[in-house]
Amino acid sequence: MKNTILKAELLSKTYSNGSIMQHVLKNLTIDIKAGDFTVIMGSSGSGKSTLLYALSGMDKPTLGTITFKGQEISGYSNDQLAIFRRKHCGFVFQQIYLNETMSVLDNIIICGLLVSRDKKAIAVKAKDMLLKVGLTAECYHKYPSQLSGGEAQRVAIVRALINAPEIVFADEPTGALNSTNAINVLDVMTDVNAAGQSVIMVTHDIKTARRANRILYLKDGVIIDELNLGIYVKDDPERHQILREFLESMGW
């Protein structure tokens, strides 16, 4: 039996636009196990990103609690949350968000320095990890604008992983990429998960979702159903079929 790493109870998020209150998340309760590859799906505007950022301590919920390994983080101050994120979380964004003014290596080192003071060791580790995602020495000193979209996203993944976080959060990491690049990036994510790190990913792409062992379906701020797919196996037509049927039944 896997341990619970992240738990949300009766989570609600409400935005107020002037006089109009918009309840984006409504009394959600979720239990994420260590080592899971969780995918959150749902139609546009259903609250996927909101849920992801609430779970990761990037945003504070309106109501409800979030606990990480038994520790309640929903009451943390902004600075405590930042320290929580640096120790336990990694982030990958659809828009990639590399710092355009820093070289590839510096983009990674700046995050590594949050946890370690040993710049040399971080650089060695960063280079090693870049190699694993298929990026060689020639890209170290390039600037983000000189990379292709896929290369940039792989750098962003290395950045997210440099401090060996227990959970990697990804909001449509392949949304801006073409299919070859997307597959590259997903392979990396799958490897990360295989190495034991939990992954929570938002996507609306079925091929991407196929990588997960657990699918949560969100509609109007409520998880209406979930699917357990088991360990990812490459080119498994049956897995694809089960997922497709699940999504169709959700009205996707």
Ligand X SMILES: Nc1ncnc2c1ncn2[C@@H]1O[C@H](COP(=O)(O)OP(=O)(O)OP(=O)(O)O)[C@@H](O)[C@H]1O
Give all strands of the β-sheet with 4-17 in edge-to-edge order. Answer: 20-33, 4-17, 63-68, 71-72
Question: Where along the sequence are the contacts to Mg ion (CB under 5 A)?
Answer: 49
CB of 244 to ligand X, least distance (A): 19
Q: Which is nearer to ligand X, 17 or 136 (CB)?
A: 17
Single-letter residue type at 251: G
Straight-line distance from the first to the last Cα atom of the chain, in angstroms, rounded to the nearest whole number: 32
Q: Which is nearer to ligand X, 22 or 95 (CB)?
A: 22
∠ CA 178-181-183, nearest 5°, is 105
Contact flag: residue 138 with another protein (CB under 8 A): no
Which structure tokens are listed for 86? 């640096």
Contact flag: residue 53 with another protein (CB under 8 A): yes
Contact flag: residue 111 with another protein (CB under 8 A): yes
- Say whether 82 sits in a helix, a strand or coil: helix
Q: Name residues contacting another protein, limited to 176-205 (CB under 8 A).
A: none
Of another protein, Mg ion, ligand X, none, which one does residue 24 interact with (CB within 5 to 8 Å by kind)?
ligand X
CB count within 10 Å of CB 31 equals: 12
# residues near ligand X by CB under 6 A = 12
CB of 78 to another protein, least distance (A): 6
Q: Name residues contacting ligand X, limited to 40-59 (CB under 6 A).
A: 42, 44-50
Contact flag: residue 119 with another protein (CB under 8 A): yes
Rounded to whole angstroms, the Cα distance separating 125 from 157 reads 14
Q: Which is nearer to another protein, 26 or 60 (CB)?
A: 60
Residue in 186, 193, 133, 191 with CA at minimum distance from that of residue 166: 193
- For residue 51, which phi and psi values (nearest 5 degrees)? -65, -45
Rounded to whole angstroms, the Cα distance separating 183 from 6 reads 27
Which structure tokens are listed for 76? 């943390």
Q: Name residues contacting ligand X, limited to 23-42 (CB under 6 A).
A: 24, 42
CB of 178 to another protein, least distance (A): 20
Which structure tokens are listed for 79? 């600075």
Applying CB under 8 A, the residues found at the interface with another protein are: 53, 58-60, 78-79, 82-87, 89, 91, 93, 95, 97-102, 106, 109-111, 113-114, 117, 119, 143-145, 159-160, 163
Applying CB under 6 A, the residues found at the interface with ligand X are: 15, 17, 22, 24, 42, 44-50
